[in-house]
């Protein structure tokens, strides 16, 4: 059976994006630093059609996780490129370029109806009737593959709060953002006792890769 | 040369104590959960004169860290037992009991003058003239041993902000407190680039033990 995996990178002070997003820094001041480890892996570069990168244990881990994923769910801001003044442009084409790296169905949580769009090998379907509906559509599309809730913070918080996440995969980078968007903003107490740590992947970058599985009821 | 190690346990949502501290839960609602891993180790039990406990890799890690420590610095609330209605009782004897586990000099950051107190094999000295003064006294007492800044959050934040920490040792427990006292409360951006992750200790409890060292200037 398909698992729902919430996966996101964050800073040591618990932020997934920095403060004051702008055109120059759509992930907020310093926000790109939490993703530097990903961009350095050979598996990410492969997926983006780029050469090079490092074949580290964390690159293998990333490839392994990605191989199991058949569908991605994301918030609209993640689709359209972070928070910022442009986020009201509900028809923005996203920042994933002509060949987004997903190459599987992506469901975008949004309040704005929009036609399903094919970009390269990735289909983006826009879901306006909530997280349960998006997950239902994701399950239908995923078959036995896993479903990734890829962010942002709000999308992950909503799925966690609804008890719909089977596994939480957190990549904690050794940087500090000092504000911005927190992954856990104070509404997480209900999660206590629901997850257990199960796996920590070796890292060559000082990033901690920790997987938490929901406990059997 | 003696190192300054800031060491603290926190929740997955970045809190070192839970919300609403009370006599029953001086570390706030659920706050004790972040310390359960410590209490379960044989090395902690040894230090507290108790039998049993588990001789795990993290117990060994704890023993190794403790062996190197010659002096501890803590905030007054950590001395007197968490936040709460009693924290205005500046003469409270602390909650460490007649035989505190430190068995080395402890310097307590406080605004209230108080005589140095010997409890069991631990001397508590109360420092009212700031973190630099406490560190200076700690260095004099420590010799070549390391100095631990043991918490709470405020004490660690102050030493980090002043650039006086050589190593940050964070124990992140797989629990959520959903509020309470955050270790990094938004003032941490200045720390970016100053620390690098160097060591992660195996854990049998789902707790992540990550050590960050200050980079050479």
Considering A7-16, A170-179, B196-205, the range whose residues carry the highest mean pLDDT is A7-16
The CATH T-level fold of domain B4-84+94-214 is Dihydrofolate Reductase, subunit A (3.40.430)
Residue, of B18 and A186, whose pLDDT is higher: B18
Residue, of A188 and A155, whose pLDDT is higher: A155
Q: Tens digit of pLDDT for each residue in A182-198? A: 898 766 667 777 888 77
pLDDT at A77 over 90: no
Judge: B30–A192 Cβ closer than 8 Å, yes or no. yes
Query: Looking at the DSSP assignment, which residues form a beta bridge with residue B147?
Result: B4, B71
Which residue of A191, A193, A207, A211 is the best one to mutate when testing the B interface, meaning the one whose CB has the most B CBs within 10 A?
A: A191
CA–CA separation, A62 vs A129, rounded Å?
31
Three-state secondary structure call for residue B21: coil
Q: Tens digit of pLDDT for each residue in B152-183? A: 999 999 999 999 999 999 999 988 888 888 89
Place of tokens 């959050």: B153
Residue A132 is predicted with a pLDDT of: 98
Token pair belonging to A155: 């999308």
Flag whether residue B174 sits within 8 Å of chain A, measured between CB atoms: yes
In percent, how much of chain A has pLDDT > 70?
Answer: 92
- pLDDT classification of B93: cutoffs 50, 70, 90: low
CA–CA separation, A197 vs A201, rounded Å?
12
CA–CA separation, B199 vs B194, rounded Å?
16
Q: Which of B179, B183, B206 sits opposite A197 (nearest CB)?
A: B206
Torsion angle defined by CA atoms of residues A150, B175, B182 and A164, in that order, rounded to the nearest 10 degrees: 30
| Average pLDDT estimate for A111-130 | 94
Q: What residues contact A112, with CB distance under 8 A and at least 6 apart?
A: A76, A90, A126, A128
Of the candidate ranges A109-118, A183-192, B79-88, the one whose mean pLDDT is the lowest = B79-88
pLDDT at B191 over 60: yes
Judge: B178–A192 Cβ closer than 8 Å, yes or no. yes
Three-state secondary structure call for residue A61: helix
Residue A135 is predicted with a pLDDT of: 98
Backbone angles phi, psi at B176, to 5 degrees: -120, 135
| Average pLDDT estimate for A160-186 | 89
pLDDT at B203 over 90: no
Cis ω for the linkage preceding B7 (within 30 of 0): no
Please say whether the beta carbons of B28 and B21 come within 8 A. yes
Calculate the average pLDDT of chain A. 88
Token pair belonging to A144: 């036995």
Residue A111 is predicted with a pLDDT of: 92
Judge: A178–B195 Cβ closer than 8 Å, yes or no. no
Place of tokens 């008890």: A163
Q: Tens digit of pLDDT for each residue in A60-74? A: 999 999 999 999 999
Of the candidate ranges A85-99, B3-17, B37-51, the one whose mean pLDDT is the lowest = A85-99
Radius of gyration of chain A measured on its C-alpha atoms: 16
Token pair belonging to A36: 């530097």
Q: Which of these, B33, B12, B37, lies nearest to B203 by C-alpha position? A: B37
Residue A102 is predicted with a pLDDT of: 92
Q: Where are the beta strands (DSSP E) in B83-194?
A: 106-109, 117-119, 122-127, 146-149, 167-173, 181-182
Residue B49 is predicted with a pLDDT of: 83
CA–CA separation, A13 vs A172, rounded Å?
9
| Average pLDDT estimate for A94-111 | 89
One-character DSSP codes across A129-184:
S-HHHHHHHHHHHHTTSEEEE---HHHHHHHHHTT--SEEEEEEES----SSEESS
Judge: B197–A177 Cβ closer than 8 Å, yes or no. no
Measured between alpha carbons, how far apart are the two ends of chain A, in Å? 17
H helix or E strand, kind and range, residue A43 = helix A42-47
pLDDT at A217 over 70: no
Radius of gyration of chain B measured on its C-alpha atoms: 16
Flag whether residue B211 sits within 8 Å of chain A, measured between CB atoms: no
The CATH T-level fold of domain A4-214 is Dihydrofolate Reductase, subunit A (3.40.430)
Residue A92 is predicted with a pLDDT of: 64
Q: Which of these, A11, A16, A7, lies nearest to A160 by C-alpha position? A: A7
Q: Tens digit of pLDDT for each residue in A21-70? A: 888 888 898 999 999 999 899 998 888 888 888 888 889 999 999 999 99
Q: Tens digit of pLDDT for each residue in B96-115? A: 888 888 999 999 999 999 99
Calculate the average pLDDT of chain B. 88
Judge: A212–B13 Cβ closer than 8 Å, yes or no. no
Residue B179 is predicted with a pLDDT of: 83
Residue A128 is predicted with a pLDDT of: 97
- Using N-to-C axis directions, what is the helix angle for A153-161 and A131-142, rounded to 10°? 90
CA–CA separation, A81 vs A164, rounded Å?
25
The residues spanned by each domain of chain B are 4-84+94-214
């Amino acid at each position: 059976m398909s698992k729902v995996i919430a996966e996101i990178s964050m800073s040591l002070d618990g932020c997934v994006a920095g403060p004051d997003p702008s055109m120059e820094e759509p992930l907020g001041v310093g926000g790109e630093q939490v993703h530097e480890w990903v961009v350095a892996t050979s598996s990410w570069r492969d997926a983006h059609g780029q050469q090079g990168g490092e074949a580290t244990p964390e690159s293998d881990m990333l490839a392994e996780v990605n191989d199991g994923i058949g569908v991605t769910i994301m918030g609209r801001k993640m689709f359209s490129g972070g928070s910022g003044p442009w986020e009201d442009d509900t028809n923005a084409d996203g920042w994933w370029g002509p060949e987004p790296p997903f190459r599987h169905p992506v469901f975008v949580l949004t309040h704005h109806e929009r036609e399903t769009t094919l970009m390269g090998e990735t289909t983006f379907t826009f879901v306006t009737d909530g997280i349960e509906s998006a997950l239902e559509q994701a399950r239908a599309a995923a078959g036995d593959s896993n479903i990734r809730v890829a962010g942002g913070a709000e999308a992950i918080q909503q799925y966690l709060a609804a008890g719909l996440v089977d596994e939480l995969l957190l990549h904690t980078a050794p940087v500090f953002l000092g504000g911005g968007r927190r992954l856990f903003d104070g509404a997480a107490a209900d999660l206590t006792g629901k997850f257990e740590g199960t796996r920590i992947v070796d890292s060559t970058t000082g990033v901690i890769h920790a997987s938490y599985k929901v406990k059997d009821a």
